[in-house]
Amino acid sequence: MPRPAPARADRLLRASAAVAVVAALVLGLVVAPPDAVQGQAQRLMYVHVPAAWLAYLTFTGVLVFSVAYLVTRNLKWDRRAQAAGELGVGMTALTLAEGSLWGRPVWGTWWVWDPRLVTTAVLLLVYLGYLSVRGLSDDRAAGARRAAAVGIIGFVDIPVVHFSVVWWRTLHQPATLLSPDPAPIDPRMLLALLVALVAFTLTGAVVYRRRLTMLAAADAAALAPVAVPEPAVPADDAPAVPLAVVPRSRP
Amino acid sequence: MTAAPPSERPAPTSARPHRRLRLRLLLVAVVVLAAVGVLAAAGLQGSLVYYKTTSELLSDHGLVGHRLRLGGLVVKGSVHRTAGGVRFELTDGVAEVPVVNTGEPRGVFRDGQGAVVEGVLGRDGVFRSDVLLVKHSNSYEPPAHGTGRPVEDTG
């Protein structure tokens, strides 16, 4: 049982995340110049854009883990999907909130009903729904199945959000980097943005792993029957064999 | 909910808190679905094309007198403050439309950048707006040394 290795890997992950965050702060707040048009408010980009990218990444994770769950029926995939979904919802909310803070001084408004903003708000609601359906029944497996379905179908909104600025005429400007038509960006700004992306991803990984441990422990505790003896369950994950789910209030 | 004899249940639980939780979650799911539907339908109504270009506005005579959004680039040197707000010209590179906006410009409004205004095109060819938003480009450049403007914008 590889217990020491995960602990070392986690420490390394946390340390790199901390370093990346400090580097991103220094680059974003000090080294990168302000924008000629937007001024200092443009520095919000170093949070807004990585949050959005991390949301895309985590929701892709939800898609992959949901498919894995439906194929294997092993709850460990559902836990991974849930942890990823929670992080994604947080990141989407952060993207919207921060975008609003950025919009007021630059666009002149906190919110517009343009396709980019509306589809992102829809994304937030869809994945909030994703997180809620899991708890709709007491049957852990049924909840996981429903959540997997929502997680897979909901993914459709991701390309819609990303391409909304290309497909439709929006107030939100088109992408600077991931675009059919990339635009110039100062190299120091680009560096700050990429380091911020790394910082967000590493910090997200730390949060994700801690959440996964909590979810595995919760599942193990919920399934520990009163009288039947059971082998010790490892703290970092559930057993690899498909868990026999015992519904609690069915006859 | 039929109650099983206590010895068959893994842990004693009562049905009512679970029912309440389930109803609450179902309510959340319904509200979320409804909100998604409302957002998608109402929010996007008329917003998929968030604004008309100056050429589109001038070529469709039926739009005169109707409230809509107009977007374009603010023509350099055309910005003048007025008693009530600001006036300027918007262009899409082909056609120009004079705009009179009631209210101070907000955001990083300036000539050479994009703007989106909401208002009405009058018969005199002047667009009278009361909402003025800035649409900035997707390029990120530092200000030219000593000024607040990018290199090509000095003077």
Residues A165-192: tens digit of each pLDDT = 888 889 999 888 887 778 888 999 999 9
In degrees and rounded to multiples of 5, residue A158 shows phi and psi of -65, -55
Identify which of A84, A50, A46, A98 has the alpha carbon closest to the alpha carbon of residue A207.
A84
Identify which of B63, B32, B69, B97 has the alpha carbon closest to the alpha carbon of residue A113.
B69
Size of interface A-B (CB pairs under 8 A): 157
Residues 6 or more apart whose CB falls under 8 angstroms from that of B19 comprise: B1
CB contact under 8 A, A109 and B10: no
Question: How much is the pLDDT for A131?
Answer: 94
Query: Between 2.70.70.10, 2.60.120.470, 2.60.40.10, 2.40.50.140, what CATH number should domain B54-135 receive?
Result: 2.40.50.140
For chain B, first and last CA: distance in Å?
Answer: 79
Lowest mean pLDDT across A7-11, A94-98, B124-128: A7-11
Whether the complex's predicted ipTM is more than 0.85 is answered with: no
Lowest mean pLDDT across A51-60, A61-70, B44-53, B95-104: B44-53
Q: How far is B81 from chain A (nearest CA, A)?
A: 17
Question: How much is the pLDDT for B9?
Answer: 44
Question: How much is the pLDDT for A28?
Answer: 94
Task: Please tell me whether residue B76 adopts helix, strand or coil conformation.
Answer: coil
CB of B81 less than 8 A from some CB of A = no
Q: Give, for A78, the enclosing helix (H) or strand (E).
A: helix A75-106
Question: How much is the pLDDT for A120?
Answer: 95
CB of B119 less than 8 A from some CB of A = no
- pTM score of the predicted model: 0.79
Residues 6 or more apart whose CB falls under 8 angstroms from that of A184 comprise: B139, B140, B141
Element counts in chain B: helices (H) and strands (E):
3, 6
- What is the pLDDT of chain A when averaged over all its residues? 88
Note whether A32 and A59 are within 8 A (CB): no
Question: How much is the pLDDT for A137?
Answer: 79
Taking CA–CA distances from B14, the nearest residue in chain A reads A249
CA–CA distance from A170 to each of A103, A146, B120, B136 (Å)?
Answer: 14, 34, 20, 11
Question: How much is the pLDDT for B155?
Answer: 31
More confident residue, A6 or A197: A197
CB of B39 less than 8 A from some CB of A = yes
Confidence band, pLDDT 50/70/90 cuts, at residue B149? low
